Every structure is written in structure tokens, then in C-alpha cells.
């Protein structure tokens, strides 16, 4: 008995639905695994503490970074001097409702001078921000 194979002249079909499914899963994985941080041009090595607490700072808090060389950064703004920092803070605070209380977080490098931290805290106080926190890196103290 002779078995004949059916001959087809159709070109093979490429099914795009599994490809789209795989690409969507990859995109979802990348979106979920990506951390969203504010980029800053000023790297700061925060001083450590023995008692580590998680970051419970409000998301609308003003973040001012102080580098080891005395430079300042505000949010995504680059390296600023004192007058530029005051101007940026004033501009940001003018856009806020009058009754709303603002908070600030000072992220000073471990090697930053005490004077630069005091200058920023004095500047914040003169602009009416009474609630100022100093950021630390938990568990890194000697």
C-alpha cells in the first residue's frame, strides 16, 4: 500500500499574536522593575546612623542636596550657588498655596561643612519653612 502525502503550495503563516504577548510581558516587567528616582547631578554620600528607619518623608517635600565641595542641588536642578538656590526656592514656594505647610529635606554629604548645612537651614527658615529634616543613610555609622 502506498501512502501519498498531500502536497500544499501555501506559504507558511507567521502568527504575530504570541510575539505581541511576549513583548507586552517584557514591557510590563521593565515598567514594574524600573525604579523612579529624581536624577541629580550632585552625588551625596549621606552620613550613617545606628537606628535605621524607612523613608517616611512626604512626596511633596523640598529636597536640597549639599555636596562635599559646598555646591547645592535642588530637585532635578544642577549645581547651584547660594543666590541661585534662594531664587529657585522662592520661585517654588511662590507657586504653593498660602495655607499649605511645606517641608524640606536636607541631604548633606558626610564630608560637607557644617556652615553649608546651616546656610541652607537658615535660608529655609527665612522663607517660612519650619519643618526641616536631615537625611541619613541608616546602618552605616562606624
User: CATH no. for residue 131?
Assistant: 3.30.420.270
pLDDT > 80? residue 16: yes
Kindly state whether residue 74 falls inside one of the protein's structural domains: yes
Residue 140: per-residue pLDDT = 44
Kindly state whether residue 32 falls inside one of the protein's structural domains: no
Local confidence band at 20 (pLDDT 50, 70, 90 cut-offs): very high
Beta strand 137-138 with 72-74: parallel, antiparallel or unpaired? unpaired
Domain of residue 62: give its range. Answer: 48-138
- Number of compact structural domains in the chain: 1
pLDDT > 80? residue 68: yes
Residue 142: per-residue pLDDT = 41
Are the C-beta atoms of residues 135 and 98 closer than 8 Å to each other? no
Q: Which of 117, 79, 74, 78 minimizes the C-alpha distance to 136?
A: 117
Are the C-beta atoms of residues 109 and 61 closer than 8 Å to each other? no
Q: Which of 41, 62, 50 minimizes the C-alpha distance to 133?
A: 62
Half-sphere exposure of 132 (CA within 13 A, CB side): 20
pLDDT > 50? residue 30: yes
Kindly state whether residue 107 falls inside one of the protein's structural domains: yes
Beta strand 103-108 with 62-66: parallel, antiparallel or unpaired? parallel
Longest dimension (CA), the chain: 101
Higher pLDDT, 75 or 119: 119
Distance CA 84, CA 90 (A): 10
The residue with cell 510590563 is 28
As a whole number, mean pLDDT of residues 103-108 equals 88
Kindly state whether residue 64 falls inside one of the protein's structural domains: yes
Kindly state whether residue 33 falls inside one of the protein's structural domains: no
Kindly state whether residue 22 falls inside one of the protein's structural domains: no
Residue 58: per-residue pLDDT = 62
Higher pLDDT, 44 or 108: 108
Distances (CA, A) of 97 to 92, 93, 116: 11, 8, 29
Residues 6+ apart with CB under 8 A from 20: none
Kindly state whether residue 95 falls inside one of the protein's structural domains: yes
pLDDT > 70? residue 141: no
As a whole number, mean pLDDT of residues 75-104 equals 79
Amino acid at each position: 500500500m502506498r501512502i501519498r502525502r498531500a502536497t500544499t503550495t501555501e506559504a507558511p503563516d507567521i502568527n504575530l499574536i504570541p510575539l505581541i504577548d511576549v513583548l507586552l510581558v517584557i514591557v510590563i516587567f521593565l515598567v514594574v522593575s524600573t525604579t523612579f528616582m529624581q536624577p541629580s547631578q550632585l552625588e551625596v554620600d549621606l552620613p550613617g546612623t545606628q537606628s535605621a528607619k524607612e523613608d517616611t518623608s512626604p512626596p511633596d517635600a523640598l529636597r536640597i542636596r549639599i555636596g562635599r565641595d559646598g555646591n547645592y542641588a535642588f530637585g532635578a536642578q544642577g549645581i547651584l550657588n547660594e543666590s541661585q538656590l534662594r531664587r529657585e526656592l522662592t520661585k517654588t514656594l511662590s507657586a504653593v498655596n498660602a495655607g499649605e505647610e511645606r517641608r524640606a529635606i536636607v541631604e548633606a554629604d558626610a564630608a560637607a561643612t557644617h556652615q553649608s548645612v546651616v546656610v541652607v537651614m537658615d535660608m529655609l527658615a527665612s522663607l517660612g519653612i519650619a519643618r526641616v529634616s536631615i537625611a541619613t543613610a541608616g546602618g552605616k555609622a562606624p
